Amino acid sequence: MNRPLVIGNWKMNLDYVEAVHLIQQIGVIVRNRPLEHVDLVVAPPFVDIRSVTSVVESERIALEVGAQHASVHDAGAHTGEVSVPMLQRLNVKWILVGHSERRAHYAMTDEVVAQTLRTVTRQGVHAVLCVGEELAVRNDEGHLDFVSAQLHAALEGLDEKSRPLVSVAYEPVWAIGTGLTASTEQVRDMTEHIRTVLASLSLEATRVLYGGSVNAENAASLMSEGRVDGFLVGGASLKAESFLAIGQAADDCYAGKR
């Protein structure tokens, strides 16, 4: 089992004042109950990153800051976009690439996902590649092929230096924000499948996360029975207690307590 990675994706929630409040609450809990075996990351909206990073650094909170997206380009006439070098200057260490909401609503094609992933890793930043099928695809039993195709499109031919910087998050679209979590069997089958595909792409050491209505109650069983290396958490990452309860479940599981 890989060392767990737990990422809070705050999506388009919390202005910078609210974000500072949340990161301070997270800091207090982490200080009282450190997570020994978990890499913890929060991914706030772009406009909150500087404030969040300042708090993390000044209060020495044991986590790293991520971003939810980055431009495929490094600079230039791309109105509304934010580049990887800009994020790096803010000490961003992790960037989500190809979240299903970016793919579905902001025309992020497989090709752009692949190029963005390379833009991120070329700069030495960790890329979290998001994959996952819609409900209709699963109902037609096409989910394994669908996810294989997403993985191949994004990761084929990735250079050796970039490989250690990649993690994969399996987020079935039908489980995101719906309260409908994939069953531990569904998660285990898919993570095993993803690991087989990753091995065929020389990415056997890659961490495989699960995302989709993860909460403090289901995290432990998803981790142990679903055999994931961590979580990408949406809604439950907006409260310090529930986010860190998920981190604690990952920590306990890794330490062999469950």
- Identified binder of ligand 13P from the candidate list 4, 5, 9, 19, rule CB under 6 A: 9
- Identified binder of ligand 13P from the candidate list 172, 226, 230, 235, rule CB under 6 A: 235
Catalytic-residue membership of 36: no
CA distance 81 to 116: 12
Catalytic-residue membership of 105: no
Nearer to ligand 13P, 102 or 188 (CB): 102
- Choose the stretch contacting ligand 13P; rule: CB under 6 A; options: 25-33, 103-111, 148-156, 228-236: 228-236
Q: Based on the shown chain and the rule CB under 6 A, indicate whether residue 176 belongs to the binding site for ligand 13P.
A: yes
Nearer to ligand 13P, 73 or 135 (CB): 135
Contacts of 45 (CB under 8 A, 6+ apart): 10, 11, 12, 13, 14, 19, 68
Least CB distance to ligand 13P at residue 213 (A): 4
- Contact call for residues 230 and 250 (beta carbons, < 8 A): yes
Question: Which tokens sit at 42?
Answer: 């929060």
Contacts of 162 (CB under 8 A, 6+ apart): 118, 121, 122, 127
- Choose the stretch contacting ligand 13P; rule: CB under 6 A; options: 83-91, 114-122, 171-179, 184-192: 171-179
206-225 binders of ligand 13P (CB under 6 A): 211-214
Residue carrying structure tokens 């995101």: 176
- Choose the stretch contacting ligand 13P; rule: CB under 6 A; options: 50-58, 104-112, 184-192, 205-213: 205-213
CA torsion sign, 197 to 198 to 201 to 204? negative
3-state secondary structure of 53: helix
- Name which of 214, 141, 206, 137 is nearest 171 in CA terms: 214
- Identified binder of ligand 13P from the candidate list 177, 185, 202, 241, rule CB under 6 A: 177
Q: Under the rule (CB under 6 A), what is the footprint of ligand 13P?
A: 9, 99, 171, 176-177, 211-214, 232-236
The set of catalytic residues is 99, 171
